[in-house]
Amino acid sequence: MRIPFLFITRRCKAFRSLQQSPFLSPISAQLRHQRIAVLRHTSTHLCKDEGRYYITTPIFYVNAAPHLGHLYSAVSADCLHRYKLLKGFNSKFATGTDEHGLKIQQAADAAGKDPLTFCTDVSERFKYLFSSCNISYTDFIRTTEERHRQAVEHFWSVLWNKGLIYKGSYEGWYSTQDESFLTPLQVTDALDSTGKEIKVSLESGHKVEWMKEENYMFRLSAFRSQLLDWLRVNPRAVQPERFYQTVLQWLQEDLPDLSVSRQRNRLQWGIPVPGDPEQTIYVWLDALVNYLTVAGYPDKHEQWWHVAHHIVGKDILKFHAIYWPSFLLGAGLPLPQTIHVHSHWTVGGKKMSKSLGNVVDPLERSQVFTTDGMRYFLLRQGVPDSDCDYTDDKVITLLNAELADSLGGLLNRCTAPALNPAQVYPSFCTESFPIEQIGNKGRAVVEDYHMLNAMKSLQALVEQHYESMHVYKALEAITACVRQTNGFVQRHAPWKLDRRDSRDQRWLDTIIHVSLECLRIYGTLLQPIVPEISNKLLSRLGVQPGERSWAALNFLPRFQGMDCPFEGRALGSDSGLLFSRLERPNVDKQKAKKTKKQQK
Ligand SMILES: Nc1ncnc2c1ncn2[C@@H]1O[C@H](COP(=O)(O)OP(=O)(O)OP(=O)(O)O)[C@@H](O)[C@H]1O
């Protein structure tokens, strides 16, 4: 059980304040009771948590092949899942494909395939990409599966039986591209490619059409105050903060009831409304329930559902932070613990998207830059709070500097036979590196003590950033430490020491021991991000699989007067460079030409 005490205290305080809160005064006693029950439910489950953790990516719409943005969502979730496993959690990680809706129906028609064959083909491409990129999901769901249809039908019936769905008529704007209903304020004028005047969604820029049809409506408008309570009591329910504020802002605006079905004659590719075959369930209601399906809904979901954490792109925030919690509240189910939101990868400033076609093929790029190279780049450069523009050049510069030169160079230096002829994890000498720098007894200098201090706080820092999904900050901290370790080696130039002098030999061993300890920590901390590189690094150091968990981190025990299990142990075999430098095809060719000319 690893819930920080402070966190629980804060929740319990939030409870009390909700019970006494003045903003609750206008609501009915029944509603107050219901709200508190929902929040209490979340909290008691938290207290009973048995180390389970459930992570989801969005399920990806199969109207076209996956692009780099999809891989980014998957890699972010995979990183969190691997981190939780290292911490000893029983982590479940679900991803999959969203396969119903008008867009799919149209894309299948255009490809001349029946919808299921079309979906299977594209779904397989997502699966193949994810397995190629070491996305270690534990469950891949397709919304065309039978288990999902049963979950959706059950969920619908619960809402229907509670009177939260009613037959009505929807008239308003609809974007097929976004499968989303819009209010007049969310729509603006634009010109299409032929110069014709059209209406588009302000948010996505996609074309919208006026739609009028009879269908089923969900009483979304009834949930505004419950959503506000949830957000106020759980200020970290939507992260980062700027997206939390966005959701609060939306809740100040109009929140009309939501159409949750389409007429069957317009949309055949979807789950029919139970008891009314003339209507098809709205693709978003269908899709969102996938998180419950994987958890075992309707019979066996409790163990997993109360520890659910969603990872989503900002484009689908409203569906996850307004519609989904409202559906769940309506069905009497706990709300997700966290919705981690990330921003977009852009190309030339425009969102990379299937419909725009401005996509980067993640499979092809990871063949060029390696799988771990791509994972490292996405998590190092991707900032959840803001968009990031993709270029190959950025990838090459970053990977060469941080993986090839800095980390790879450090490993190379410290394991090279010239410096480490015995190929062992050498001994640490406390006289050379005493616990305190007293007079000029030892050989270590003040910068070396600074480095050890930075190393000591690294684990907690990385942990904090993994937890909040600011992985780029974790990598920033690790990179800064790698730089310091390289500085340590450079400063003491062990290659200049005289091995015949026993004092020098002890100091040389100590330099290598400390550097290998730093490398062991980097290798362990980096496992969620670059599993293959970490494995290579730790294997080279002779660190066994059972010695790679979070609990085994324990940096430089010899400095604290404890035994080091690695001291004196043989290094693992050398399997080549940790990461080979990447060539910049055009730039490097031009440079080579210039140098040749100059040489002539
Ligand atoms: N450019 C992007 N950057 C980061 N993540 C993205 C990007 N595009 C899609 N995603 C991720 O994939 C999820 C689903 O995206 P979706 O399948 O709608 O892709 P899309 O390319 O935006 O498709 P379309 O153009 O058809 O709307 C997003 O919520 C997000 O998690």
Ligand 1 within 6 A of CB of 384 = no
pLDDT band at 49 (very low <50, low <70, confident <90, very high): low
Q: How far is the C-alpha of 464 from the C-alpha of 485, rounded, in Å?
A: 22
Q: What is the ipTM of this complex?
A: 0.96
User: Cα(259) to centroid of ligand 1, in Å?
Assistant: 23
User: Cα(103) to centroid of ligand 1, in Å?
Assistant: 14
Q: How far is the C-alpha of 307 from the C-alpha of 89, rounded, in Å?
A: 11
| pLDDT of residue 224 exceeding 70 | yes
353 versus 270: the higher-pLDDT residue is: 270
pLDDT band at 31 (very low <50, low <70, confident <90, very high): very low
Q: What confidence score (pLDDT) does residue 442 get?
A: 87
468, 470, 471, 475 alpha-carbon torsion, rounded to 10° = -120
pLDDT band at 21 (very low <50, low <70, confident <90, very high): very low
Between 40-44, 84-88, 103-107, the lowest mean confidence (pLDDT) is in 40-44
Q: What confidence score (pLDDT) does residue 88 get?
A: 96
The pLDDT mean for the chain works out to 89
pLDDT above 70 as % of the chain: 88
Ligand 1 within 6 A of CB of 345 = yes
Residue minimizing CA distance to atom 15 of ligand 1: 60
Ligand 1 within 6 A of CB of 313 = yes
Ligand 1 within 6 A of CB of 382 = no
What is the mean pLDDT of the segment spanning 354-372?
A: 93
Q: What confidence score (pLDDT) does residue 183 get?
A: 84
Q: What confidence score (pLDDT) does residue 17 get?
A: 38
Ligand 1 within 6 A of CB of 341 = no
Residue 19 main-chain phi, psi, to 5 deg: -65, -35
Ligand 1 within 6 A of CB of 354 = yes
Closest CA to 94 of 143, 154, 49: 143
Ligand 1 within 6 A of CB of 126 = no
Ligand 1 within 6 A of CB of 378 = no
User: Cα(359) to centroid of ligand 1, in Å?
Assistant: 10
What is the mean pLDDT of the segment spanning 229-249?
A: 97
pLDDT band at 266 (very low <50, low <70, confident <90, very high): confident
| pLDDT of residue 368 exceeding 60 | yes
Ligand 1 mutation target, pool 60, 346, 383, 386, most atoms within 8 A of CB: 60
Q: Can you spell out the DSSP letters for 23-40? A: GGTTS-HHHHHHHHHHHH
| pLDDT of residue 508 exceeding 60 | yes
DSSP 8-state class, residue 451? H
Closest CA to 315 of 236, 246, 219: 246
Q: Is the peptide bond before 336 cis (omega within 30 degrees of 0)?
A: no
Ligand 1 within 6 A of CB of 60 = yes
Q: What confidence score (pLDDT) does residue 32 get?
A: 44
| pLDDT of residue 531 exceeding 50 | yes
Between 138-147, 169-178, 188-197, 299-308, the lowest mean confidence (pLDDT) is in 169-178
Residue 60 main-chain phi, psi, to 5 deg: -95, 135
How confident is the model over 425-470, as pLDDT tens digits? 999 999 999 987 666 678 999 999 999 999 999 999 999 999 999 9
Residue minimizing CA distance to atom 2 of ligand 1: 69
How confident is the model over 107-141, as pLDDT tens digits? 999 999 999 999 999 999 999 999 999 999 999 99
What is the mean pLDDT of the segment spanning 330-337?
A: 98
The answer to whether the CB of 216 falls within 8 A of the CB of 181 is no
Residue 480 CB partners (closer than 8 Å, separation 6+): 454
Residue minimizing CA distance to atom 12 of ligand 1: 70
Tokens of 261: 């079905």
Ligand 1 within 6 A of CB of 98 = no
User: Cα(380) to centroid of ligand 1, in Å?
Assistant: 19
Alpha-helical (H) ranges within 332-381 are 362-369, 371-381
Burial 431-446 (b: 16+ CB within 10 A, else e): ebbeeeeeeeebbbee
| pLDDT of residue 412 exceeding 80 | yes
Q: How far is the C-alpha of 478 from the C-alpha of 472, rounded, in Å?
A: 10
Q: What is the CA radius of gyration of the chain?
A: 28
What is the mean pLDDT of the segment spanning 286-312?
A: 97
Residue minimizing CA distance to atom 28 of ligand 1: 313
Burial 89-113 (b: 16+ CB within 10 A, else e): bebbbbbbbbbbbbbbbebbeeeee
User: Cα(507) to centroid of ligand 1, in Å?
Assistant: 54
Q: Is the peptide bond before 298 cis (omega within 30 degrees of 0)?
A: yes
DSSP 8-state class, residue 556? -
